[in-house]
Amino acid sequence: MVDTLSSRATQSRHPAPGALLELLKPITWFAPMWAFMCGVVSSGVPILDAWPMLILGALLAGPLVCGTSQAVNDWFDRHVDAINEPNRPIPSGRVPGRWGLYVGIVWSAVSLAVATLLGVWVVAAVCVGLVLAWLYSAPPIRLKGNGWFGCLAVGLCYEGLPWFTGTAAMIGGLPDTPVLLLAGLYSLGAFGIMTLNDFKAVEGDQALGIRSLPVQLGVRPAAWLACVVMALPQVAVSLLLFSWGAALAGAMVAALLAVQIVLMVRLLEDPRAYASWYNATGTTLYVLGMLAGAVALRGL
């Protein structure tokens, strides 16, 4: 397998056109960029007054930090991908040699450099995100090898840290308690979303010794856990919004959750068949609730 990778990698000394972009997986950037925008909205700062911060922060959340995590993941998964996804940029040789590793290192440095333009709290958040990105994929820790730790890390990096970053960048300081509470709760809920992503590769995870939650608990118990973990934080968000006098936003989050629960009933009928469907439907409602909460915080 290593010989196969080496022979492919030596076909070219430089990445093929578009291969580096594919390595950074733009489709994954949406979630952290959305969470960053929620942080911007919840800050209460008029966007037109701080648009340079907005642009830099969006680049930081998506193409830079999230892109780094994707490059690092592909580098450390290159031997696995050579079996399961041989057309990925690294095992196919379109990103040859050690280019994947170099991209992860350089992109980490660029992320930190951009973060310094946005303030000390943004630097702190980016440091946490980058450390988790490397620990998620790199041995010997390799958080992705255990679904409990891996899903928590990804949920935090995709939702909580970008939300925190968006607010911190706009206000130039530490976000207040309501922002921290909502960002933390939506990070916890994202644990369930990440669990659903593991249903598509149960057999492969079992064969490779990856202890995803569907492998550890079984598909149906893991699906129930995912649904509960997605739902309970939204209940807490709705109750908090009502307690803060944001009744309309609290009702919106509750209504969006009610529709999600209806969709969860179908998901639980056949979790493996409907996991991708739920991610396209229920998860959309989940992130709309994030925006509703962010708008409410803006008015507090």
Quick one: 157 and 37 in the same domain?
yes
Quick one: 84 and 227 in the same domain?
no
Asked if residue 86 has a cis previous peptide bond (ω within 30° of 0), the answer is no
**CATH number for position 161:** 1.10.357.140
| Residue span of the structural domain in which 105 resides | 17-171
Q: Report, as an integer, the average pLDDT of 183-200.
A: 93
Quick one: 24 and 155 in the same domain?
yes
Q: Report, as an integer, the average pLDDT of 22-28.
A: 95
Long-range Cβ pairs for the range 129-132 (8 Å, 24+):
129/65, 129/69, 129/157, 129/161, 130/65, 130/68, 132/156, 132/157
Quick one: 165 and 266 in the same domain?
no
Number of H helices, E strands in the chain: 16, 0
d(CA 138, CA 279): 27
Q: Report, as an integer, the average pLDDT of 184-201.
A: 92
Which single residue is written with the structure tokens 């639980």?
268
Quick one: 34 and 103 in the same domain?
yes
Question: Model confidence at 10, in pLDDT bands (50, 70, 90)?
Answer: very low
Residue 196, CA distances (Å) to 25, 144, 245, 268 in order: 19, 14, 34, 11
When the pLDDT of each residue in the chain is averaged and rounded to a whole number, the result is 92
> Does the structure show a pLDDT above 50 at 1?
no
Q: How much is the pLDDT for 82?
A: 85
What sign for the dihedral angle of Cα 286, 288, 291, 297? negative
Burial group, residue 199, by CB count within 10 angstroms (0-12, 13-18, 19+) = buried
Question: Model confidence at 206, in pLDDT bands (50, 70, 90)?
Answer: confident
DSSP per-residue string spanning 129-161: HHHHHHHHHSTTT-GGGBHHHHHHHHHIIIIIH
> Does the structure show a pLDDT above 50 at 119?
yes
pTM (predicted TM-score): 0.92
Quick one: 163 and 227 in the same domain?
no
DSSP per-residue string spanning 47-80: GGGSHHHHHHHHHIIIIIIIHHHHHHHHHHTHHH
9 in a structural domain: no
196 in a structural domain: yes
Count: domains in the chain: 2
Quick one: 167 and 180 in the same domain?
no
199 in a structural domain: yes
Quick one: 186 and 285 in the same domain?
yes
Quick one: 27 and 128 in the same domain?
yes
Among 153, 171, 189, the domain boundary falls at: 171
Quick one: 182 and 257 in the same domain?
yes
Quick one: 296 and 207 in the same domain?
yes
**CATH number for position 254:** 1.20.120
Q: Report, as an integer, the average pLDDT of 31-52.
A: 92
pLDDT in tens, 228-265: 999 999 999 999 999 999 999 999 999 999 999 999 99
* Residue % of the chain over a pLDDT of 90: 82
4 in a structural domain: no
pLDDT in tens, 140-162: 999 998 999 999 999 999 999 99
